[in-house]
């Protein structure tokens, strides 16, 4: 079937899009959020700190796009009689939602048109990027053959523009509802995110200790095998907590061999090996990106080069301990959280004093370490 191929080609972008939407952060979030939330005592919404140990790094105000200006996107919408809504909702659930590249949780699917007994509803069928012409969506509705909606004609379908970003306040939500399309206000988006993000803080602590342990062990190596700088990175698969890569800073051997770059390279090499093994058994190569879904733990805030490497490798989350003057995530550019880059990832800083103290102790063992150097 024509649509099947078409849909399959859309799945990766659909995942990307929903990821980006779910993690989109709004400038006013921390001001808006409730400071004390009895159901979430482990979250400091004002400081965006979880369990007092993990600080969310977010600076959307530096992004090029103002979150309070709607970014409009085109969607196909159809005029319905009230009795058609059940079939419409079923059609959307079965034929559209699994393939839809855009998320619509921030808007209402149906809009009431007119009053009294003869009112009608406008319903959003799908984004215009899913079906580029009216005929394509109409063909799918006809193929679906639910008698309630299969008689739909071309003049019942129109293209409209709706905001693709989530409003930051209830007031803006109401304003956009008046101007464009009814919005669904679920509260401050970053507060929602902080409530939904899942951390097992005991396991996070264990990972940080492992990171520091591997760094400390490396300092005990003989001089020729020592990392150049006391910087270590581990890459972890959060599904099984397996460490898929461990790396150290070796920039004296090669100027690009920062630990994060080496970690990315090591994961790439492992993936290449596993793909070659698969291809030997006539299994198709996996699609996807190198570090998709993986978590990076690193001792120092990655530099701009490493941060861009993380963007390109489509990492899920980065956790580091020491912010750096040359850093590309918190200190400069905020490269994990920019609307003008095609990938965003979560950035967190580990705050626990005893671990930072431990890191600084290890640093002191490296006489050559220079705090000013790019990490």
Residue ranges binding Zn ion (CB under 5 A): 258, 303, 306
CB nearer Zn ion, residue 33 or residue 306: 306
> Which of 204, 147, 170, 150 lies closest to 355 in space, CA to CA?
204
In the three-class reduction of DSSP (H, G, I as helix; E, B as strand; rest coil), residue 88 is classed as helix
Give the DSSP H/E element, type plus range, for residue 126.
Answer: strand 120-127
CB nearer Zn ion, residue 165 or residue 259: 259
Give, as one character, the DSSP assignment of residue 337. Answer: S
Q: Give CA–CA dist 270/80, Å, rounded.
A: 53
What's the closest the beta carbon of residue 251 comes to Zn ion, in angstroms?
A: 8
What's the closest the beta carbon of residue 338 comes to Zn ion, in angstroms?
A: 18
CB neighbourhood size of 46 (10 A): 12
What's the closest the beta carbon of residue 140 comes to Zn ion, in angstroms?
A: 48
Q: Give CA–CA dist 94/104, Å, rounded.
A: 16
Q: Give CA–CA dist 114/332, Å, rounded.
A: 51
CB nearer Zn ion, residue 15 or residue 373: 373
What's the closest the beta carbon of residue 9 comes to Zn ion, in angstroms?
A: 35
CB nearer Zn ion, residue 61 or residue 254: 254
CB nearer Zn ion, residue 25 or residue 303: 303
Q: Give CA–CA dist 336/302, Å, rounded.
A: 11
Distances 284 to 10, 14, 50, 314 between C-alpha atoms, Å: 19, 21, 41, 21
Q: Give CA–CA dist 199/211, Å, rounded.
A: 17
What's the closest the beta carbon of residue 310 comes to Zn ion, in angstroms?
A: 10
The answer to whether the beta carbons of residues 74 and 127 sit under 8 Å apart is yes
CB nearer Zn ion, residue 306 or residue 362: 306
What's the closest the beta carbon of residue 270 comes to Zn ion, in angstroms?
A: 21
HSE-up (13 A, CA, CB side) for residue 322: 27
Tokens 């600080």, residue located: 55
What's the closest the beta carbon of residue 305 comes to Zn ion, in angstroms?
A: 5
CB nearer Zn ion, residue 267 or residue 306: 306
Give, as one character, the DSSP assignment of residue 149. Answer: T
In the three-class reduction of DSSP (H, G, I as helix; E, B as strand; rest coil), residue 317 is classed as strand
What's the closest the beta carbon of residue 230 comes to Zn ion, in angstroms?
A: 14
In the three-class reduction of DSSP (H, G, I as helix; E, B as strand; rest coil), residue 231 is classed as strand
CB nearer Zn ion, residue 24 or residue 258: 258
């Amino acid at each position: 079937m024509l649509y099947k191929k078409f849909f399959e080609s859309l799945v990766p972008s659909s995942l990307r899009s929903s990821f980006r939407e779910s993690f989109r952060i709004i400038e006013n979030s921390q001001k808006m959020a409730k400071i004390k939330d009895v159901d979430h005592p482990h979250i400091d919404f004002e400081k965006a700190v979880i369990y007092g140990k993990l600080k969310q790094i977010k600076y959307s105000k530096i992004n090029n796009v103002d979150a309070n200006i709607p970014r409009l996107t085109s969607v196909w919408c159809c005029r319905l009689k009230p009795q058609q809504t059940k079939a419409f909702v079923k059609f959307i659930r079965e034929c559209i939602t699994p393939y839809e590249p855009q998320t619509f949780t921030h808007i209402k699917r149906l809009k009431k048109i007119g009053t009294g007994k003869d009112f009608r509803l406008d319903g959003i069928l799908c984004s215009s990027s899913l079906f580029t012409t009216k005929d394509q969506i109409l063909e799918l509705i006809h193929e679906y053959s639910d008698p309630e909606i299969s008689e739909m004609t071309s003049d019942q379908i129109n293209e409209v523009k709706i905001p693709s970003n989530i409003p930051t306040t209830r007031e803006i939500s109401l304003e956009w509802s008046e101007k464009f399309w009814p919005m669904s206000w679920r509260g401050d988006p970053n507060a929602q995110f902080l409530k939904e993000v899942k951390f097992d803080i005991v396991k996070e602590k264990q990972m940080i200790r492992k990171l520091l342990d591997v760094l400390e062990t490396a300092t005990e190596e003989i001089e020729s095998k020592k990392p150049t700088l006391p910087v270590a990175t581990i890459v972890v698969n959060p599904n099984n907590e397996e460490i898929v890569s461990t790396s150290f800073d070796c920039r004296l051997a090669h100027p690009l061999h920062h630990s994060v770059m080496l970690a990315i390279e090591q994961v790439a090499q492992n993936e290449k090996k596993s793909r070659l093994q698969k291809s030997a058994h006539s299994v198709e190569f996996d699609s996807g990106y190198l570090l998709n879904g993986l978590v990076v733990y690193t001792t120092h805030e990655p530099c701009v080069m490493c941060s861009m490497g993380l963007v390109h490798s489509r990492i899920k989350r980065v956790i580091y301990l020491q912010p750096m003057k040359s850093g590309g995530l918190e200190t400069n550019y905020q490269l994990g959280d920019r609307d003008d880059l095609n990938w965003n990832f979560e950035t967190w800083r580990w705050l626990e004093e005893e671990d930072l103290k431990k890191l600084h102790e290890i640093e002191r063992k490296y006489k050559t370490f220079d705090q000013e150097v790019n990490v």
